[in-house]
Structure 1
Amino acid sequence: MTADDWDRPDPFTLALAPQPGDIDGLGHTNNAVYVQWCERAGWAHSEALGLGLADYRRLDRAMAIREGHYDYLLPSFEGEALLLGTWLTQCDGKLTMERRFQLRRASDGATLLRGRWALVCIEIGSGRPRRMPAEFLAVYGAAVAG
C-alpha cells in the first residue's frame, strides 16, 4: 500500500482489524461496524486537530452528522489488517463541513469502503443549527484537504 493509493493526500488514519464480534452471519464484517469505525476515526481526527468533546461542551457547539453515505465495495474478514483514512474536504465557514472516509486492506491496498458525511454545526443545548465558533473555523478550516 502506497501513499499514492489514497483518494486524497495525507489522510488521518486508524489501524483496525475486525474482531469476532464484528462478524455477521455472512462471515464478514457487519456494515454497521464500518459506520462505528468512521465515527471513531472522525472523533480521533478532531481530537488530533485539537477539538475534543470537552471543547464542544465548553463552546456549546458540535458538528453533527446531517447525512451519511457509505459505498460498501468489498468485504473484510476477522483479523484482517485494515487502515481507515479520513479527511475534512469542505468547510463553508458558517454552518457546514464535509468529511470523507476510505477504508483499505493493508495486504493489497484494495479499497473496501468509501464514505461521506455532511456535517452541520449545532448548538448543543438546543440542537438547533448555529454558526461555527471561531475555534472551529480556525481548526477545521485549516485542516480541509485539497
Structure 2
Amino acid sequence: MNDGTSWDFPGPHTIACTPADTDIDGLNHTNNGVYVRWCQDAGWSHSAALGLTLRDYQQLDRAMAIRRGEYDYLLATSVGEALTLATWLVATDGLMTMARRFQLVRDRDGATVLRGRWDLVCIEISSGRPRRMPPAFTSAYLPALVALKAPPAPP
C-alpha cells in the first residue's frame, strides 16, 4: 500500500483487493458489481474484527441490513492491480440504525477509485422486521464509530 494514502477518516479497517480475470467486464475494467461485493467482504471483515460474526448474528436473531447503498465510481481499475479497501462506521442513532463508509484506493499511487456509503438498519432475522440493536451490537459497534468531517465553514 502506498504510504501517502490520504484516508477519508482515521483508523480504517482495511482489506486487500485485486481484480481477477473474471472480475473484468466488456469495457475492459473491473465490473461495478465486484466493488459492491468487496464492500460486503470489508463490512463482514470489520464486523468480525469487532467481535460480531454471521454466527453471532444468527444466534442473536439480529442483523445490520443494508437499507441504502451508494457508490461513486471515480476511476477504473484493471486486472491484477493491487487495491486496498477501507471501511468505517460513521454514524448511529444508538437504537436501530448505523452508517458505514468505504474508500477503495489504488496502492501504486494512493488514488481513490471508489467511495461508498451504506445506511444500515437492525433487523430481526426471523421476521425481517426492524428491531432495536441488542446490547452485543451497541457494545461492539458504538466504540468503533469515527466522527464525520465537518463541512467547511462558509466564508
The TM-score with structure 1 as length reference comes to: 0.98
Aligned residues of 1:61 and 1:123 also touching (Cα < 8 A) = yes
Residue identity (%): 62
Is 2:133 the partner of 1:135?
A: no
Structure holding more helix per residue: 1
Superposed CA offset, 1:87-127 (max 9, x none): 00012110000000000000000000000000000000100
Structure 2: gaps (5+ residues) = 148-155
Where does structure 1 differ by over 4 angstroms across 4 or more consecutive aligned residues? none
- Number of residues paired by the alignment? 146
SS of residue paired to 2:120: strand
Cα deviation for residue 2 of structure 1 reads: 3.2
Q: Map 1:54-69; keep pairs closer than 5 Å.
A: 54-69=55-70
Q: Which amino acid aligns with 1:82?
A: L
Is 2:87 the partner of 1:86?
A: yes
Q: What is the distance in 1 between the residues matched to 2:133 and 2:7?
A: 29
Aligned residues of 1:91 and 1:140 also touching (Cα < 8 A) = no
CA 1:4–1:33: 2 relative to 1, 3 Å? closer
Structure 1: gaps (5+ residues) = none
Q: Map 1:1-146; keep pairs closer than 5 Å.
A: 1-2=2-3, 5-146=6-147
